[in-house]
């Protein structure tokens, strides 16, 4: 009978230990999932921040490239107008404005148009 009681006690202890281990495993799994969700949220927030920073950087770089291209375009246009004025005798709008300013300043002296 003592052997039977010891077996029953052993079974109860074993079942209790298995139940406790299963409960701890379940609790650990829940904590892991919660931590994993928090980490995923942090990763997503950091990725969104990096995406916005990257978009801003790319937009700034695009504006800089466009400004440089526009400056070069204006420089080439001015050079072409100067060359046309010099070789073909065609006055640019800028030259016409300067001539008009001189004309007004000097009181209507005659200049060739």
pLDDT at 86: 85
User: Does 70 fall in a domain?
Assistant: yes
User: Does 110 fall in a domain?
Assistant: no
Profile the chain (113 residues) by mean pLDDT over runs of 10 residues.
Answer: 81 94 97 98 98 97 98 94 85 85 75 57
User: Does 36 fall in a domain?
Assistant: yes
pTM: 0.52
DSSP percent split of the chain into helix, strand, coil, nearest 5: 90, 0, 10
Structural domain of 35: 2-88
Question: Looking at the 3D structure of the chain, how many domains does it have?
Answer: 1
Is 104:111 a contact under the CB 8 Å cutoff? Answer: no
Q: Say how far apart CA 9 and CA 3 lie, in whole Å.
A: 10
Q: How many CB atoms lie within 10 A of CB 92?
A: 15
User: Does 33 fall in a domain?
Assistant: yes
Those residues whose C-beta lies under 8 Å from the C-beta of residue 35, and which sit 6 or more positions away, are none
């Amino acid at each position: 009978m003592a052997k039977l009681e010891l077996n029953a006690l052993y079974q109860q202890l074993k079942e209790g230990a298995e139940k406790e281990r299963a409960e701890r495993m379940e609790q650990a799994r829940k904590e892991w999932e919660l931590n994993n969700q928090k980490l995923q949220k942090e990763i997503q927030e950091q990725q969104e921040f990096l995406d916005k920073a990257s978009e801003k950087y790319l937009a700034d770089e695009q504006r800089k490239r466009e400004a440089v291209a526009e400056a070069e375009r204006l420089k080439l246009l001015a050079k072409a107008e100067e060359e046309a004025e010099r070789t073909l005798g065609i006055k640019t709008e800028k030259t016409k404005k300067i001539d008009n300013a001189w004309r007004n300043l000097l009181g209507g002296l005659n200049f060739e148009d």
